[in-house]
Amino acid sequence: MKYLLHKLISLVLILFFVFSNSGFAQNDCEVSLEMIQGDYSGDCKKGLANGEGVAKGTDTYEGEFKKGLPHGSGTYTWANGNVYTGEFKKGLKDGKGTLVIQLPGGQTKEQIGFWADDEYIGENESPYVLQYKSPEVLSVRVQDRDDSSTDKALYIEIQHKGRVQQNPDFNLNITTGSLLSRTKDGTSTKIVVSQFPFGFSMSYLGETVELQFYQEKSWDVKLDFNK
139 in the same domain as 118: no
153 in the same domain as 80: no
Q: Is residue 206 part of a domain?
A: yes
Q: Please give the C-alpha separations between residue 53 and each of 40, 86, 205, in angstroms, as whole numbers.
A: 7, 15, 59
135 in the same domain as 117: no
40 in the same domain as 86: yes
140 in the same domain as 58: no
164 in the same domain as 107: no
* Pair 122, 96: CB distance under 8 Å: no
Q: Which of 122, 157, 181 is the last residue of a domain?
A: 122
Measured distance CA(97)–CA(187) in Å, rounded: 39
Q: Which of 122, 144, 174 is the last residue of a domain?
A: 122
Q: Residue 157: give the domain boundaries.
A: 128-225
Domain CATH number, residue 63: 2.20.110
Which residue, 27, 32, 121, 28, is CA-closest to 70? 32
152 in the same domain as 108: no
66 in the same domain as 82: yes
152 in the same domain as 86: no
Number of domains in the chain: 2
Q: What is the pLDDT along the chain (227 residues), one digit of tens a residue?
A: 444 445 545 544 444 443 444 433 345 899 999 999 999 999 999 999 999 999 999 999 999 999 999 999 999 999 999 999 999 999 999 999 999 999 999 899 999 999 999 999 888 888 899 999 999 999 999 999 987 777 899 999 999 999 999 989 999 999 999 999 999 999 999 999 999 999 999 999 999 999 999 988 899 999 999 99
136 in the same domain as 187: yes
Which residue, 161, 125, 156, 162, is CA-closest to 142? 156
pLDDT at position 84 is 99
Q: Please give the C-alpha separations between residue 116 and each of 119, 124, 183, 185, 186, in angstroms, as whole numbers.
A: 5, 11, 30, 29, 30
Q: What is the residue type of 85?
A: T
56 in the same domain as 109: yes
Q: Which of 81, 101, 122 is the last residue of a domain?
A: 122
Q: What is the residue type of 78?
A: W
Measured distance CA(197)–CA(219) in Å, rounded: 13
111 in the same domain as 144: no
Q: Is residue 2 part of a domain?
A: no
Measured distance CA(67)–CA(209) in Å, rounded: 44
Strand spans (E) along the chain: 39-45, 48-56, 60-66, 69-77, 83-89, 92-102, 108-116, 119-122, 128-133, 137-144, 153-160, 163-164, 171-185, 188-204, 207-213, 219-225
